[in-house]
């Protein structure tokens, strides 16, 4: 099993050289895949990784899925109703999760925010978008669906910090327990 340091070093090398021929897409999308039990260590290491990327000439913009999920939920006009309904039936997780997922995916809320984060970085050779806190998508959606919907719009080096298990060259299991998904068009390091 590789270490986070070795995986991050390999990721840096791969993004320095760009995408290889033979991937399903030429978009500069990379996943740093790590076991979910290393989530806290990844969070501890992320500031040092960002500093290292800056030292190597990258202009890193961070996109926290958790922050955007929370912002979308709080800003939605139905949020107070969701809170009230949850208080009325706190054990009805299926209904609560469905309501929250509707808010996040309605009008492509989260998708639009990620696209909006990519837009100002286009054309900047040294730009890198670092997408963190993917675990905040559970149980609402998976990042593979977001990546798929944004196909053709990633013109900036984008790195996703992915808690999960790699089961092949393009197959991943989000958080280690979701069913294996092979619909990723990205390059994967680690896992």
Q: Taking the domains of the chain in order of start, what are their residue ranges?
A: 4-14+24-65+110-190
Q: What is the mean pLDDT of the chain?
A: 85
pTM to 2 decimal places? 0.87
Angle at 78 between CA 73 and CA 95, to 5 degrees: 80
Q: What is the pLDDT of residues 139-152, one digit of tens each?
A: 887 777 777 777 77
For residue 22, the model assigns a pLDDT of 41
DSSP symbol at 179: P
Low-confidence ranges of the chain (pLDDT < 70): 1-2, 19-25, 108, 182-184
Q: How far apart are CA 31 and CA 172, in angstroms?
A: 10
For residue 21, the model assigns a pLDDT of 42
- The CATH fold assigned to 4-14+24-65+110-190 is Rossmann fold (3.40.50)
Q: What is the dihedral of CA 68, 71, 73, 79, to 10 degrees?
A: 180
Q: What is the pLDDT of residues 166-187, one digit of tens each?
A: 887 777 887 778 777 766 677 8
């Amino acid at each position: 099993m590789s270490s986070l340091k070795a995986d991050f070093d390999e990721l840096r090398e791969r993004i320095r050289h760009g995408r290889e021929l033979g991937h399903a897409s030429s978009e500069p999308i990379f996943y740093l895949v790590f076991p979910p039990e290393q989530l806290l260590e990844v969070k501890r290491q992320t500031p040092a990784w960002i500093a290292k990327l800056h030292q190597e000439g990258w202009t890193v913009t961070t996109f926290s899925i958790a922050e955007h999920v929370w912002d979308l939920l709080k800003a939605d006009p139905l949020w107070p109703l969701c809170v009230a309904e949850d208080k009325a039936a706190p054990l009805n997780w299926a209904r609560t999760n469905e309501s929250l997922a509707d808010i996040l995916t309605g009008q492509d809320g989260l998708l639009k925010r990620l696209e909006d984060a990519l837009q100002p970085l286009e054309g900047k050779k040294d730009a890198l978008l670092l997408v963190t806190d993917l675990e905040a998508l559970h149980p609402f959606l998976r990042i593979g669906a977001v990546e798929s919907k944004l196909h053709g719009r990633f013109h900036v080096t984008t790195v996703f910090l992915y808690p999960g298990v790699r089961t092949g060259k393009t197959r991943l299991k989000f958080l280690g327990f979701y069913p294996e998904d092979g619909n990723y068009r990205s390059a994967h390091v680690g896992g």
